[in-house]
Chain A
Amino acid sequence: MLTVRHVNKTYHNGGFFSNNRQPVLFDVSFEMKSGECLGIIGESGSGKSTLGRLIVGIEKPDRGEILFQGQNVWSREARLGHISAVFQDYSSSINPYFTVLDAISEMLKIMGQCDKKELTHMVVNLLKQVGLNAEYCNKLPHELSGGEAQRVCIARAISTGPQFLVLDEAISSLDASVQTQILNLLKELKERYQMSYLFITHDIQAVTYLCDRVLFFHNGQVIEQSSVSKLSQIKNEYSKKLISSVIPFENIKK
């Protein structure tokens, strides 16, 4: 379903005349099957978010291609209604002038749904799915708590019934109990709609809970892939270090 082939990305740094380019992604390739959930872990600055931005077509790779169901994700039509995203920072993830109703119905309107009653009905339904009641419709973003805002973002992301969702540290900034709630919600949604997730995170426990397969990322390269059930058999030193640093009790067991 999603094919990432030899993707390279560099960022310009320096001024107008400078030609310095800092490489961020280097020859990244992987594939995702329909209905699969892929976790990406790596240390800060390893280029995970950059990869996420490339996959949702916000930025363009320097070299290589990213195909979604055979079409390049850079074209808007390939993504519209099929790909969606949830980002880490919930504080600016909803337009401050939009009510929750406006925010969630935005994509539905673009997809051609314009009957007002029908829209409200759909939004209330979506809110119910993420565990919020209909009263939230007329709230403004600054009146929501972090967890509520993140749920609204998820409702907005799934409003068009996408096959593929990119979650860039979507739960990292929430407290543990809300994290579990949202993980459960994502798992439920995945089973109900056969959605595929690209789950970018630092949190290996969340990955083992939600994902089928994990990519280890280091300095803009994929250094190892492993299915979640075989995490104990990984070979690369760096990925071992990543896992042990996140789950200290594995070391204690040894």
Chain B
Amino acid sequence: MSAWKKLKQDRLAMCCLVFLSSVVLVGIFAPFFAPNNPVAVDTSLRFAGPSFQYPLGNDQLGRCVLSRLIYAIRPSVLLVLFALSITVMIGTVLGLISGYYKGRVDNVIMRLCDVMLSFPSEVITLAIIGIFGVGLQNILLACILTKWAWFTRVIRTAVMQFSEQNYVQFAKAAGCSTFHVLTHHILPMTLSEIAVIFSSSVCSLILQISGFSFLGLGMQAPTPEWGMMLNEAKDVMLSYPTLMLPPGIAVMLVSASFGFLGDSLRDAMDPKHEPAVTKRKKIRSTV
């Protein structure tokens, strides 16, 4: 059974997938979905409750909360995905080289990773912000710099393990090219590993970026970002606690969905893992 078929039977995974794709779509086409301009200030509407024109109400400057939430998908989700894709690509290429060729190349790459991993990532992020200034792109740059080493390590370990397998030995012995071996026998195996590290770091990165924006080091006002919306809501937490809810719930839902989806993907890509539903069906049909 193919991975896709298995994934389709997993209800939770499909819900997450549908939810995340709609989030991405809404983010890309934010101007169509947002009812108002996210940065338009209207002081007469400060802390107004939900209305037909402003479905989630207005914030402390009278801006439309829903529109801000929708526009914030761009930095909070799309940019994170973009930065992580670059990181994963770097990690995959280096991990493949390192794990497949071993020897000297591997040693050099691994020592480089050790150096990168010996700095706490927060310190690197703060250092980069210190050098290049405050801003989301610098936080993403810091993320790429700190995460590639970890990705490389994880992927290298997987590649090493798979390149020892007998089917790889056979393919090499029979005269397949290195490219064929890598693309047919090693990369597909590491995909499930990649799915898991990707999804788990999406969660941590969304939270991290929200955290840095919350501290005022990430996205700069007035551009909306979930962490920054939380930060602004914090100032009026006691008088208008409901302002915390939209960005907080959005962060939670998106990162939880990525986590669930990653786990389901790993299970779906394991050919030996049969979903519980089909097992039950099989037993029933044999009885």
Residue from the list B166, B172, B177, B189 in contact with A97, Cβ < 8 A? B189
Enumerate chain B residues within 8 angstroms of A84, measured Cβ to Cβ.
170, 173-174
Residue from the list B167, B176, B189 in contact with A110, Cβ < 8 A? B176
Residue from the list A16, A79, A89, A95 in contact with B107, Cβ < 8 A? A16
Nearest chain A CB to B274's CB is how many angstroms away? 10
Please tell me if the beta carbons of A58 and B173 are within 8 angstroms of each other in the complex: yes
Contact with B along A151-168 (1 / 0, CB 8 A): 001001100100000100
* A87, CB-defined interface residue at 8 Å: yes
A residues 144-200 touching B (CB-CB < 8 Å): 153, 156-157, 160, 166
B residues 167-183 touching A (CB-CB < 8 Å): 167, 169-177, 180
Interface, chain B (partner A; CB < 8 A): 107, 165-167, 169-177, 180, 184-185, 188-189, 271-272
* A92, CB-defined interface residue at 8 Å: yes
Please tell me if the beta carbons of A85 and B271 are within 8 angstroms of each other in the complex: no
Enumerate chain A residues within 8 angstroms of B167, measured Cβ to Cβ.
92-95, 98, 103
Enumerate chain B residues within 8 angstroms of A103, measured Cβ to Cβ.
167
Residue from the list A85, A96, A106 in contact with B173, Cβ < 8 A? A85
* A121, CB-defined interface residue at 8 Å: no
Please tell me if the beta carbons of A85 and B174 are within 8 angstroms of each other in the complex: yes
A-B contact pairs, 14 of them (CB 8 A): A56-B172, A56-B173, A57-B175, A76-B177, A79-B174, A79-B175, A87-B166, A87-B170, A92-B166, A95-B167, A95-B185, A97-B271, A107-B176, A153-B170
Residue from the list B170, B177, B185 in contact with A85, Cβ < 8 A? B170
Contact with B along A105-137 (1 / 0, CB 8 A): 011001000000000000000000000000000
* A80, CB-defined interface residue at 8 Å: yes
Residue from the list A106, A110, A142, A156 in contact with B271, Cβ < 8 A? A142
Nearest chain A CB to B111's CB is how many angstroms away? 8
Q: Which residue in chain A gives the minimum CB-CB distance to B185?
A: A95
Enumerate chain A residues within 8 angstroms of B169, measured Cβ to Cβ.
53, 58, 85, 87
Residue among B107, B165, B166, B172 with most chain A CB within 10 A: B166
* A77, CB-defined interface residue at 8 Å: yes
- DSSP class of B's interface residues: helix, strand, loop or mixed? helix
Enumerate chain A residues within 8 angstroms of B176, measured Cβ to Cβ.
76, 106-107, 110
* A2, CB-defined interface residue at 8 Å: no
Nearest chain B CB to A18's CB is how many angstroms away? 12
Q: CA separation between A26 and B189, bound complex, in Å?
A: 37
Q: CA separation between A160 and B176, bound complex, in Å?
A: 13
Please tell me if the beta carbons of B272 and A96 are within 8 angstroms of each other in the complex: yes
* A39, CB-defined interface residue at 8 Å: no
Enumerate chain B residues within 8 angstroms of A41, measured Cβ to Cβ.
none
* A204, CB-defined interface residue at 8 Å: no
* A32, CB-defined interface residue at 8 Å: no
Nearest chain B CB to A49's CB is how many angstroms away? 10
Enumerate chain B residues within 8 angstroms of A81, measured Cβ to Cβ.
175
Nearest chain B CB to A146's CB is how many angstroms away? 13
Q: With contacts A79-B174, A140-B271 known, what are 4 further pairs, Cβ within 8 A?
A: A76-B177, A79-B175, A85-B174, A96-B272
Enumerate chain B residues within 8 angstroms of A94, measured Cβ to Cβ.
167
Q: Which residue in chain A gives the minimum CB-CB distance to B175?
A: A80
Q: Which residue in chain B gives the minimum CB-CB distance to A162?
A: B174
* A210, CB-defined interface residue at 8 Å: no
Please tell me if the beta carbons of B170 and A156 are within 8 angstroms of each other in the complex: yes
Residue from the list B166, B174, B184 in contact with A160, Cβ < 8 A? B174
Please tell me if the beta carbons of B272 and A142 are within 8 angstroms of each other in the complex: yes
A residues 21-60 touching B (CB-CB < 8 Å): 53, 56-58
* A83, CB-defined interface residue at 8 Å: yes
Give the 5 A-B residue pairs with the shortest CB-CB distance, closest first: A80-B175, A56-B173, A93-B166, A79-B175, A85-B173
Q: CA separation between A98 and B188, bound complex, in Å?
A: 11
Please tell me if the beta carbons of B188 and A76 are within 8 angstroms of each other in the complex: no
Please tell me if the beta carbons of A93 and B170 are within 8 angstroms of each other in the complex: yes
Residue among B107, B167, B173, B189 with most chain A CB within 10 A: B173
Q: Which residue in chain B gives the minimum CB-CB distance to A166?
A: B173
Enumerate chain B residues within 8 angstroms of A58, measured Cβ to Cβ.
169, 172-173
Q: CA separation between A121 and B176, bound complex, in Å?
A: 23
Q: Which residue in chain A gives the minimum CB-CB distance to B188?
A: A97
Q: Which residue in chain A gives the minimum CB-CB distance to B189?
A: A97
Please tell me if the beta carbons of B165 and A57 are within 8 angstroms of each other in the complex: no
Enumerate chain A residues within 8 angstroms of B171, measured Cβ to Cβ.
106
Enumerate chain B residues within 8 angstroms of A160, measured Cβ to Cβ.
174
Please tell me if the beta carbons of B271 and A92 are within 8 angstroms of each other in the complex: no
A residues 67-83 touching B (CB-CB < 8 Å): 76-77, 79-81, 83
Contacts A89-B166, A92-B165, A93-B167 given: A110-B180 contact, CB under 8 Å? yes
Nearest chain B CB to A162's CB is how many angstroms away? 8
Enumerate chain B residues within 8 angstroms of A16, measured Cβ to Cβ.
107
Q: CA separation between A164 and B132, bound complex, in Å?
A: 63
Nearest chain B CB to A101's CB is how many angstroms away? 14
